[in-house]
Structure 1
């Protein structure tokens, strides 16, 4: 537990940069080697690398569309209902995001505009490993579908039986994804970026993953678009005297159970709450199915800070720029007005971060590691590109020609100016 001030700021900065360091250079070299191997060898590299890292040789790579249908039909009815509800809410929210084309007329009758069009192919990465994430399928596939992307190419790691998680496949069927390949890791990102004999090259890659996936996305950016460089997950809870210790504890643990690198931070104005929350965490860790992961994350990247007031708490939060920010305070709406940097803000005691993960509607793929200072959630626009439209008539060119010529001459670009002069000669 820390008091607000410089010590708290330093600890928050250390948590935000927890994946920095010399280790990254070694990992980047390994990732670069994987990318090059896939670029050179195509499907053969995918089979060899998946056998090496996952113990499975996924031949064939693609999962037949009939198996996606079968996975959905084998899903328990109550889970089907939950997936449908999540799909409907996510779909409704993202439909409201669709940008409109812009069409303006300039002062001399010229046409000015901006036109939105979807990318042709999108690659969706759905992680496996410590957990299965059907919610990630929906959060990536739905905005791509709403944007109008014609071809969705999903990659996801195989499990010990050689197949991805059945609920992940069921979610793919529900979301209309027909093309699913059972590969993961950096090799899957390489396949999406360069294409192989079986897997098409895509225009945009979205979806979170482990460190190797993130470094691979970073390496291929520029050849393809990416949604973001997602780091380990994090939650910051601002709480006052009205917050209940067992709820705060559960919310912190809900983030910590993701990954040993997940961060869970409480900033509170209540000494009593700061004292009670660790006790509540210890009680909830008993018989917890992911106790080892949760405990490691809390011990290494957990933090409790006591502040004099909510203004100081908001200031500390903005310095950290959390992925998820919960406001468990008496007037969450008022406090939210003072927050400048957060991926998503959860307002009040009835809004645990879990509802955002699954079905609230806004996307759960959010900026991490302080990037909420300049980035936002994955959205429909991730899968769209916009083109400017400019159409001058003679009157417009005549009216603006002197300025265009003068600006071109100031930059020493003779032919720029001449291209205008010759039209008006």
Structure 2
């Protein structure tokens, strides 16, 4: 959530930032916020003045009673009763204005960093770099949704029977490959200084609000209505909320956390190869990294997180590219996001496998996550997170890019100590 003081002091810059995101209503929305804020402050000032008068009268009444001035005391009591009614009315008005102001503030997205390119959609994203060689597959190479059926390692029909579309069952070496990737990603993060946490898979509404999923993405989350809890769309939500309503000392920074969780998303699928197989799921596994940083160091941390995720892709021997998302394709809460995409040779297209983002103070303002420096005055922290990595499309690319002419899948060397096998063999006589 944008800071109200920043909106007051940098009004035109805020409007320009929102317009860069394509928010046509930016000027009118900011004007509404400032009007509501002015009304709130005036109401608060009047309320404080009346409360001060009431307190003064209370002291006078006591003194008048001691002096035996009963008539004057009764008049003062009547005046106090009138003030009480006025303050009650103003208190209700103030609550209404504060609620209105909150509603107006939460509908504003974060302001984009100056380096974010202007654009409306993914077509306008900027390719920062590309690494690795696009593999050339043998004739007859198959996309992963065909390979997994032939190899019998992931079963979508069984998952559909148990739960529904988008909930695959991993079997045999498919399950072991999943576990291997999770353990590899966690070990790499621990070696890079991230402290592992295992958070809850359900969160309350306050947690969803704190990281910006609520109210913006309410329809995308599974909601356990009886308990008013939400299944997490990413480990970012519970891990970042560890620090909700917390004041940290500067010397504690940076705070670096990593967690593995299943993730649950209700996002509607659509027809076409781009959502087939593992390309889009309702439940999937992901390892997430989160940092709490001082504002002076958060963009250096973002570059380091991007480099770290790229290092994972290099160790998996996957060709990848890094995109700087344009203003129209960024997430609601992000100030700057890098997407990492791997190349899927059988599908002949790029697949997003990670987003690494700096939220600056946007989440921290919602979370009331503050830092205390040498002067003891609290200020808002910066929060960052990134996928390190999301498994489904990594698995898709590994299967497709590492298939040979006989239909066998060769496992990258870095994963073999985790899988205890170096190949997923095709059934005899397949080719």
Q: What TM bracket, shorter-length normalisation?
A: under 0.3
> TM-score if structure 1 supplies the norm length?
0.20
> TM-score if structure 2 supplies the norm length?
0.20
Which protein has the larger Cα radius of gyration, Structure 1 or Structure 2? 2
